[in-house]
Amino acid sequence: MSAFLWNALSFIVALGILVTVHEFGHFWVARKNGVLVKRFSIGFGKALVRWRDRQGTEFVIAAIPLGGYVQMLDERVDPVLPQYKDLAFNHKTVWQRIAIIAAGPAANFIFAIFLLWVMYLIGVPEVKPVIATTQSQSIAAVAGVGEDEQIIAINGRPARDIRTANLLLVEQLGRAEIRLTLQQRESLQVQERVLDIRNWQFNPETESVFGSLGLNLLLPQATSTVAIVSKNSAAERAGLQAGDTILAINGEAITAWGQIDRLIKENPERPLDMMLLRNSQELLVQATPELTQGADGFSQGLLGIVPAASPWPEDLRYTQRYGIFAAVKEGIGQTWQLTRLSFAMVAKLLTGDLSVKHLSGPISIAQGAGTTASMGLIAFLSFMALISVNLGVINLLPLPILDGGHLMYLVVELIRGKPVSERAQEIGFRFGALVLLMLMGIALLNDISRL
């Protein structure tokens, strides 16, 4: 299956599940409060499958899998016969309507907890955040961060693994400092370093959050052994195979992958004599890198090989696995962390600490879904939990077209004792739709620029 089809299928499955969960939240609470639900639709456009239940609700799976909706009986939308007015959404109390609207985002948060609960029951492979070296004159080096130290807390919050440390560091964008609690791996001595991040520049598209601070983590390194030879590449035409170890190029002895990468990039359309070790025998091949354009816009060579990585240091790897009840607690904690980070990122967009060029749209989400699905169940569940939280947070934003906007109007009604005028709501909906379309357009353009 091609990468495009795999990404598309993974995206449809992930989004379909998350939208169903969100809309089911509205649907279930609406019925519990005596509201007649006319339609429960997953997707938009032409109905592909439809059926009705005993209470008259039409369930639909539609052709465009980019959302969904729950249509309730409402006098503001369609005429309602007098005998059915008690079943209309607009005839319920303010608190009942607030519960129905809030149930969608709440379902996404609960679903994220469930996904994380399943993950921690199965067991989540993690890696300890150990600093191998710091970059000269970097923020970390100036703060006195040393080598072979493990990050155990960031601003007082535990950082047991690289994933958690990454989220905690991103959350510090826009602040003045970061307090790292570090532990020497050999002596186990604990110390604290304060990083001055007033001039911190971080571009998530080109570097990791650790690298932007000058922290080089202890990770597997690229070796001089070939792991993958791309189809129809210059390397395949030259006869290179997976498992080959590159011993020398143009007479230069190879000791690290960095040498291979440099020589390939510096010699587009120039033949390279490569001494290889294959099945304990040395052989010489000639490969000519193709001319291509790098991320910086300059021409460079491309051979089409991917290096094998050195194994993980065993003392860095561990598995987080919990019992039934402990996994619930961990799931709630992780969901809260993701929720807090999501709201923080929205705030940083508004304050300018984070650029809108970092927004991601459906293409990036599809690529993420495909990649994590290929990596296995745990990675896909983790991705689903993240997107579920993001979906809940986005829907709580106070834009009138979203659940958060409806909640905003209901809170105003609760305070004033009467509904917001239909004219004001209509203006708000138009404004909300404009802002949402603008953000979606920016996200889509960002996606296209990354292709």
- Residues serving a catalytic function are 23
CA dist 100 and 403 (Å) reads: 10
DSSP class of 289: P
How far is residue 334's CA from residue 326's CA, in Å, rounded to a whole number? Answer: 12
418 dihedral zone (left: phi>0; alpha: psi -120 to 50; beta): beta
Cα torsion for 247, 251, 255, 260, to the nearest 10°?
A: -90
Rounded-to-integer distance, Cα 354 and Cα 339, Å: 17
Give the tokens for residue 387: 């997107």
Closest CA to 185 of 33, 17, 313, 368: 313
Do 190 and 152 touch, CB atoms closer than 8 A?
yes
* C-beta separation of 338 from 166 below 8 A: no
**Burial of 368 (C-beta count, 10 Å sphere; 0-12/13-18/19+):** buried
Long-range contacts of 221-224 (CB under 8 A, 24+ apart): 221/257, 221/309, 221/310, 222/257, 222/258, 222/307, 222/308, 222/309, 222/310, 223/257, 223/307, 223/308, 223/309, 223/310, 224/254, 224/255, 224/256, 224/257, 224/260, 224/307
Q: Is the separation of the CB atoms in 264 and 301 below 8 Å?
A: yes
Q: Do residues 374 and 363 touch, judged by C-beta distance below 8 A? A: no
Distance set, CA 190 to CA 130, 172, 185, 314, 315 (Å):
13, 22, 10, 22, 18
Inter-residue contact 247 to 264 (CB < 8 Å):
no
- Say how many Å lie between the first and final Cα of the chain, rounded: 20
Task: Give the chain's radius of gyration (CA, Å).
Answer: 27
Task: Report the distance separating Cα 43 and Cα 56, nearest Å.
Answer: 20
At position 362, the amino acid (one-letter code) is P
